[in-house]
Amino acid sequence: MYETLLVDTQDAIATITINRPEKLNALSSRVIAELTAVLEALGAGSVRVAILTGAGDKAFVAGADIAEMSELSAAEAKAFADAGHRLGYALEDAPFPVIAAVGGFALGGGCELALACDFIYASDRARFGQPEVNLGLMPGFGGTQRLARRVGTALARELVYTADMIDAEHALRIGLVNGVVPHAELMDRVRAVAVKIASKAPLAVASTKRVITRAADADLRLANELEATAFGVLFDSEDMREGTQAFVQKRKATFNGK
């Protein structure tokens, strides 16, 4: 169905692989459009967790497709950035967590793509950076904002201004990634986390994701009100009744997302 993606869904876990290894999985306009479309399609189904990764051993996504981007006019570049932002919002708005599995370069748009996921696991070969200033540009897919929210404003400024590339252990120390594992073990580790999340109540996980995302920039009182409202809504769900009854009956809960 997709020219630039491989999509495999098993046991309510979707693995989305950007499949342009000869281009280091660079984000062309087609890749961006197809990723946005697949997230919308999966959101209408029964997927409980998605894993986003890149084909080959060299790159998650090495950046935007510079050959395509270099020919853009200012208006076309704005439209390209807008498409990248729509993809970022699609990742954040998906009714399931999206885990980035970064096994190589995640630079420029690739780093921004990973930052829009719920969290990131990296192999010991991973490298991260926002090198746009080397091209006379700046991050255009949310890098100036999501990076600062993830690691803090001062560190984000340093990484963007210097265009420095950092390794996986450095990324772990500053909170950019959640964990670092040997390269050969990356997908097994991410799948294990995905299986654990998929076993939980999907409506509760989706509500938690929505509140964390929506309340990130709200003041504490408004954020807590959003939380309380979502908490109350879950009491109308079959999953809440199943989960609480299973706890009382000392058995494993079976959630159906209703």
Q: Tens digit of pLDDT for each residue in 30-51?
A: 999 999 999 999 999 999 999 9
> What is the arithmetic mean of pLDDT over 68-90?
95
Domain ranges of the chain: 5-198, 202-248
The one catalytic residue in 3, 68, 71, 112 is: 112
To 10 degrees, what angle do helices 74-93 and 29-43 make?
30
The one catalytic residue in 22, 40, 92, 132 is: 132
Per-residue model confidence as pLDDT tens digits over 96-148: 999 999 999 999 999 999 999 999 999 999 999 999 999 999 999 999 999 99
Please check whether residue 25 is in contact with residue 62, taking contact to mean a CB–CB distance below 8 angstroms. yes
The sign one gets for the Cα dihedral 112, 192, 175, 152 is positive
Cα–chain center distance at 1: 22
pLDDT at 257: 87
> What is the arithmetic mean of pLDDT over 211-226?
93
> What is the arithmetic mean of pLDDT over 12-39?
97
pLDDT at 163: 98
Q: Per CATH, which fold does 202-248 belong to?
A: Lyase 2-enoyl-coa Hydratase; Chain  A, domain 2 (1.10.12)
pLDDT at 11 over 90: yes
Q: Is 242 a catalytic residue?
A: no
Q: Is 34 a catalytic residue?
A: no
Q: CA 80, 86, 88: angle at the middle one, nearest 5?
A: 105
Residues whose CB is less than 8 angstroms from the CB of residue 27 and which lie 6 or more positions away in sequence, other chains included: 18, 61, 63, 64, 65, 84, 109, 110, 113, 141
Pick the CATH number of 5-198 from 2.130.10.30, 3.40.1350.10, 2.130.10.10, 3.90.226.10: 3.90.226.10
Per-residue model confidence as pLDDT tens digits over 150-208: 999 999 999 999 999 999 999 999 999 999 999 999 999 999 999 999 999 999 999 99
pLDDT at 4: 97
Q: Write down the H helix ranges in 94-185.
A: 109-115, 143-151, 153-162, 168-173
